[in-house]
Structure 1
């Protein structure tokens, strides 16, 4: 059994097409197909359902892919471990982040990438459930998500900051000089919010229900960046985590105020339980956890930015 056979099988399972999988692995289709057939012979198992085209994995193939993903992750960690005393670290760090935390990922990775210029970072916007699934299958290395989410049970969680929800407006006169608003007052404003299927939106909806009010929603999006664009180009207001202010802290036209009673969630980094971690993951965690995010975000809640 060769590492490349496992890589070919995992890539085929991920892409679902022989030719495109071969292209992704930089080999010919016959070479990829033959390698997988040889793996099947060695294991004495049928791993792939074949017709005129790729039709998916067999039940045995699904299980073997799970083991292959873990073996490839351990192999990558072993290769990284051979780098001399963590000098000249190289490799890819794969991060899955819930949508509202996407703007802060560069704050967490910049120190690591500045210290190790051969580390490449891949960032995916994922739900908490998808982060858990991809951690389990070794498709990502680190998750950035809600710490109290039940799907994070069994993983190692490192606290980063407490996310606080605020009202953002372009026209500061809407605030009428107030330094905070109630949820009932916010509900009367024209709002742009995340879509109802997103966890951050469900948190906000619960706050409105507790206040006994229904919000006046004018625009919805599943992208925090789309909300920011809408905020800048219209008179709509947005209820967003204060960490999003890192997008706009240098702009002068956006006013921010807290909403009472306060609404907050703990955000943290999540990783698989394994020993040892690869040097790239270890270095990234160490540097990210030293980043003073809480003080930075809390300092942005009052005033106009």
Structure 2
């Protein structure tokens, strides 16, 4: 039984597809199939059900999977221990980020790469909910996430930005003569907001639930610029970061009161579990590079 076979088996089980697993492993698909067949012959049982469109675990495969993962984790632990003792910084670092942010993540990664060119860096983009899940299960080492209404369990956060969440309307909207608006005033208005799983949306949903109503979301988009454009065309009230709402000449910003809403971004990583030396160096560098907002 080889570690490579266990790695291929765990990856196929996670992806539910041989082709996607091969792409993730950067190997040819026939090689993945052949290695798993050898593993199955060695254990004397089928581990994967290949009869459907997607690959599923057999009962034996489901029983074997946790042990395969534990074996791979143990090997990673050995490598981490050696690297810790020898002071090596190598391997891989997987980083995530929310779709729209104003954090100099490219600068952080470029500086890190200049000092540690032997470390492979990967970067993905997703909403905060997916990034939090990926951090918790170890698929990501660190990520720029949006601060939600409740702090995510199992993560450590280094806050890097904090600002008000502001409403914005077109210049000819009936609210354009005001400087502020209560949350209750927006109860019957069509709102334009980021989708569920984002920080600003979680703050809005939580505040509306506390006030006893559900917001009327007319339009959703993952890009705040698109939200601003929709509001400027008179399609509703956009819920935006304050800096975005006040940066556009075609929008009238409105401070949200009773309650005021505040969001922000944080650099996040797992609170527990093994952390590679490379990831630890990146996390320490990020905490120095991104000072906490005053």
* C-alpha distance in 1 between matches for 2:47 and 2:54: 11
Where in structure 2 are the equivalents of 1:127-276 lying within 5 Å?
A: 128=129, 130-131=130-131, 133-143=133-143, 144=145, 146=147, 149=150, 152-153=152-153, 155-160=154-159, 162=162, 164-169=164-169, 171=171, 174-176=175-177, 178=179, 180-187=180-187, 190-195=190-195, 200-201=200-201, 203-208=203-208, 217=217, 219-225=218-224, 226-231=226-231, 234=234, 236-242=236-242, 245=243, 253-261=250-258, 262-264=260-262, 268=266, 269-271=268-270, 273-275=272-274
C-alpha displacement of 1:260: 0.9
C-alpha displacement of 1:5: 1.7
Q: Per the alignment, do residues 40 and 248 of structure 1 end up closer, same or farther by CA in structure 2, a change over 3 Å counting?
A: farther
Q: How far does the alpha carbon of each residue in 1:206-260 deviate from its partner, in whole angstroms, 9 at most, with x for none? A: 434655677665x321524442442455563311344xx4x68865555544311
Where in structure 2 are the equivalents of 1:1-305 lying within 5 Å?
A: 1-43=1-43, 46-51=46-51, 55-62=55-62, 64-66=64-66, 68-69=68-69, 72=72, 78=79, 81=83, 85=87, 91-95=92-96, 101-104=98-101, 106-108=103-105, 110-117=107-114, 118=117, 119-126=120-127, 128=129, 130-131=130-131, 133-143=133-143, 144=145, 146=147, 149=150, 152-153=152-153, 155-160=154-159, 162=162, 164-169=164-169, 171=171, 174-176=175-177, 178=179, 180-187=180-187, 190-195=190-195, 200-201=200-201, 203-208=203-208, 217=217, 219-225=218-224, 226-231=226-231, 234=234, 236-242=236-242, 245=243, 253-261=250-258, 262-264=260-262, 268=266, 269-271=268-270, 273-275=272-274, 277-290=275-288, 291-292=290-291, 294-295=293-294
Structure 1: give runs of 5+ residues left out of the alignment: 296-305
For the residue of structure 2 that corresponds to 1:289, the secondary structure is helix
Deviating 4+ runs (over 6 angstroms): 196-199, 247-250
* C-alpha distance in 2 between matches for 1:233 and 1:224: 16
Q: Per the alignment, do residues 3 and 43 of structure 1 end up closer, same or farther by CA in structure 2, a change over 3 Å counting?
A: same
Q: Per the alignment, do residues 156 and 34 of structure 1 end up closer, same or farther by CA in structure 2, a change over 3 Å counting?
A: same
For the residue of structure 2 that corresponds to 1:294, the secondary structure is coil
C-alpha displacement of 1:16: 2.4
* C-alpha distance in 2 between matches for 1:232 and 1:50: 52
* C-alpha distance in 2 between matches for 1:253 and 1:172: 10
* C-alpha distance in 2 between matches for 1:250 and 1:265: 17
Q: Decide whether the 8 Å contact of 1:48 with 1:58 is kept in 2.
A: yes
TM-score, length basis structure 2: 0.70
For the residue of structure 2 that corresponds to 1:220, the secondary structure is strand
Between Structure 1 and Structure 2, how many residues are aligned?
281
CA RMSD of aligned residues (A): 4.2
Q: Decide whether the 8 Å contact of 1:47 with 1:58 is kept in 2.
A: yes
